[in-house]
Structure 1
Amino acid sequence: MKLILSLTSPYARKIRIVLAEKALPYAQEVDIPWLAETSVPDYNPLGKVPALIADDGEVWYDSPVIAEYLETQGGPALLPAERLAALPVRQTEALADGITDAAVAAFLESRRPAEQQDAASIARQLTKIRRGLAALEERLGQRKGFGGNDLNLADIAVGCALGYLDFRFPQIDWRSNHLPLASWAAQVFARPSFADSLPPPA
């Protein structure tokens, strides 16, 4: 397998962690979608990373679909086999991915020239992030979708969302307002799969 990725992409990081936790061998190809010479659209018509080239040549995108595919490739299960039991995990994953989506949107808007930035748009995305963090903490308290003693796909997605906030929005300081989430994250971030996939310094 080969993973097409950017080392700063939180979605690619999610798949790198899935691959590491499952101990699945793969090669990686770094390709920045924003560059004129990118070949990412050759793999994903939407021009987004990650994309996974399977051993049979099939190309999978985006991260939830890649994660689903990797569940068929062996290693520890990250989703319950029973579809109804998997839904809370997928819901928590979707919530985490939504926080990441909002953070990415806010970051990209903030990189536009100051006179072209839409402050209201950034504010809306930050509001989504705050609401999402509160909802994650509530789901953590209920153990709804989280893996407990066994890491699952929701745990990985949540860890990647929080890690992306650390990377791009340290000023949010989510730990101070969400102490249970911070305590949970400290344990997850200590796993080798998370430590080894940290993005390079900005």
Structure 2
Amino acid sequence: MKLIGSLTSPYVRKVRIVLAEKKLDYELILDDPWGSATHVTAHNPLGKVPCLIMDENGALFDSRVIVEYLDTLSPVGRLIPPPGRERIEVKRWEAIADGIMDAAAAAFMEARRRPEPQRSPDWIARQHQKIHAGLDYMEQLLGEQPYCTGVNLCLADIAVGAALGYLDLRFPDMDWRASHGHLARLADKLGARPSFATTKPPASA
């Protein structure tokens, strides 16, 4: 398998962490979907990363679709429960974590990539409101649990860890840890895992 992505995308990192936890071999092909030389559009008509190129079955895109597929490839460390209430709980966590990533990426692009005369402070503020509301929700939901859905690592934790890592990368002054002690504890625990340590984006990116 080949994974097209960037080192800074939290969605790509989520997929890479799953690949590492599942002990699946793949080749990472770096691509800047915003650059003129991007080639991801040859495989994903939406021009987004991550994009997983499979040996026989074409390509998959959207991190949620990719990680669900990857979890079926090996019985090692199942990350998504079978259909039922537990699965819905994991997917709820993934949805809120991905929503935080969406808002953070939108705020970053508006503030850093759009020409200053065209930037909307109201739009950026709205995205930050979503981020903080999402953090508050996850903090309360996590509570004293060792992991998002109980005592074992699952896709929920990977999605949350990727989202929190992206906040650290793009908004280092946000200091979300100060008011979200449970999430900070989880982030530290996840950061010690090889799958998270080896996929941490470069600070200068």
TM-score over 0.5 (shorter chain) = yes
Output the amino acid matched with 2:34.
Answer: W
The separation in 2 between residues aligned to 1:153 and 1:66, in whole angstroms, is 12
The aligned residue for residue 161 of structure 2 is 159
- Equivalent pairs: percent with the same residue? 54
Segment drifting more, 156-165 vs 172-181: 172-181
Change (3 A) 1:47 1:10: same
Output the amino acid matched with 1:97.
Answer: D
What's the secondary structure of 1:52's corresponding residue? strand
The separation in 1 between residues aligned to 2:57 and 2:201, in whole angstroms, is 28
Pairwise mapping of residues 137-152 of structure 1 onto structure 2 (< 5 A)? 137-141=139-143, 143=145, 146-152=148-154
The aligned residue for residue 191 of structure 1 is 193
Q: Which runs of 5+ in 1 are unaligned?
A: none
Q: Is 2:47 the partner of 1:47?
A: yes
The separation in 1 between residues aligned to 2:144 and 2:56, in whole angstroms, is 41
Q: Which runs of 5+ in 2 are unaligned?
A: none
Q: How far apart are 1:142 and its partner, in Å?
A: 7.4
The separation in 2 between residues aligned to 1:78 and 1:164, in whole angstroms, is 21
The separation in 2 between residues aligned to 1:60 and 1:146, in whole angstroms, is 27
The separation in 1 between residues aligned to 2:201 and 2:187, in whole angstroms, is 17
Change (3 A) 1:142 1:82: farther
Runs of 4+ in 1 over 3 A off after TM superposition: none
Q: Could you report, residue by residue, the CA deviation over 1:87-119 in whole angstroms, capped at 9, with x for unpaired residues?
A: 000000000000000000000000122222100
Number of paired residues? 202
The aligned residue for residue 98 of structure 2 is 97
RMSD of equivalent CA atoms: 1.5
Higher helix content, 1 or 2: 1
Segment drifting more, 120-129 vs 29-38: 29-38
Segment drifting more, 178-187 vs 102-111: 178-187
The aligned residue for residue 68 of structure 1 is 68
What's the secondary structure of 2:38's corresponding residue? coil
The separation in 1 between residues aligned to 2:57 and 2:65, in whole angstroms, is 16
What's the secondary structure of 2:45's corresponding residue? coil
Q: Could you report, residue by residue, the CA deviation over 1:1-57 in whole angstroms, capped at 9, with x for unpaired residues?
A: 110011111000000000000000111111110011111111111110000011224
The aligned residue for residue 29 of structure 2 is 29
Q: Is the 8 A contact 2:144 2:182 kept in 1?
A: no
The separation in 2 between residues aligned to 1:137 and 1:182, in whole angstroms, is 9
The aligned residue for residue 131 of structure 1 is 133
Q: Is the 8 A contact 2:89 2:149 kept in 1?
A: no
